[in-house]
A = this chain, B = another copy of it.
Amino acid sequence: MTRKDLFKLILDRKSYLCVGLDTDLQKIPTHLRSLPYPLLEFNKSIIDATRDLCVAYKPNLAFYESLGSMGWDLFKQTVEYIGDSHFVIADAKRGDIGNTSKMYAKAFFEHYQVDAITVAPYMGEDSVGPFLEWNDKWVILLALTSNIGSIDFQMIEDENGKSLFKKVLETSSNWGSTDNLMYVVGATHPEAFKEIRSIVPDHFLLVPGVGAQGGDLEKVSEFGMNNHCGLLINSSRGIIYAGSGQNYAEEARNAALGLQQKMAVLLESRFS
- List residues of A whose CB falls within 8 A of some B CB: 22, 24, 60, 62-63, 65-70, 72-73, 76, 91, 93-101, 103-104, 106-107, 111-112, 120-128, 142, 145-154, 156-159, 161, 164, 167-168, 171
B24, B70, B128, B158: the one within 8 Å of A158 (CB):
B158
Decide: A124 near B147, CB < 8 A? Known: A94-B93, A111-B68: yes
Closest to A74 in B: B69
Evaluate contact between B68 and A76: CB separation under 8 angstroms.
yes
* Interface pair A65/B104, CB less than 8 Å apart: yes
Q: Are the CB atoms of A62 and B101 closer together than 8 Å?
A: yes
- A sample of 11 inter-chain contacts (CB < 8 A) reads A62-B107, A65-B72, A68-B76, A68-B111, A93-B95, A93-B120, A123-B154, A124-B151, A127-B147, A152-B171, A153-B168
Please name all residues of chain B whose beta carbon is closer than 8 Å to the beta carbon of A93 when the two chains form the complex: 94-96, 120, 123
Chain B residues with CB below 8 A from A112, complex form: 68
| Chain B hits for A161, CB < 8 A | 159
Interface residue from B101, B125, B152 paired with A152 (Cβ < 8 Å): B125
Which has the most chain B C-beta neighbours within 10 Å: A126, A149, A156, A158?
A149
Q: Which residue of B lies closest to A167 (CB)?
A: B156
Query: Top 8 A-B pairs ranked by shortest CB distance?
Result: A124-B149, A124-B152, A69-B69, A66-B107, A69-B72, A62-B103, A126-B149, A97-B147
Q: By the criterion CB–CB under 8 Å, are A124 and B154 in contact?
A: yes
A152-B173 Cα distance, complex, nearest whole Å: 13
Closest to A118 in B: B96
Complex Cα distance, B158 from A156, in Å, reads 7
CB distance from A139 to the nearest CB of B (A): 14
Check A103 against B65 for contact (C-beta < 8 Å). yes
Instruction: Please name all residues of chain B whose beta carbon is closer than 8 Å to the beta carbon of A145 when the two chains form the complex.
Output: 97, 122-123
For the complex, give the distance between the alpha carbons of A125 and B154 in Å.
Answer: 12
B154 with A157: CB separation less than 8 A: no
**Cβ B103 vs Cβ A124 within 8 A:** no
- With A65-B104, A122-B122, A157-B159 given, can you name 17 additional A-B contacts, CB distance below 8 Å? A60-B96, A62-B100, A66-B107, A69-B69, A69-B73, A93-B95, A98-B147, A122-B145, A123-B149, A124-B149, A124-B154, A126-B147, A126-B149, A127-B149, A128-B149, A156-B158, A159-B159
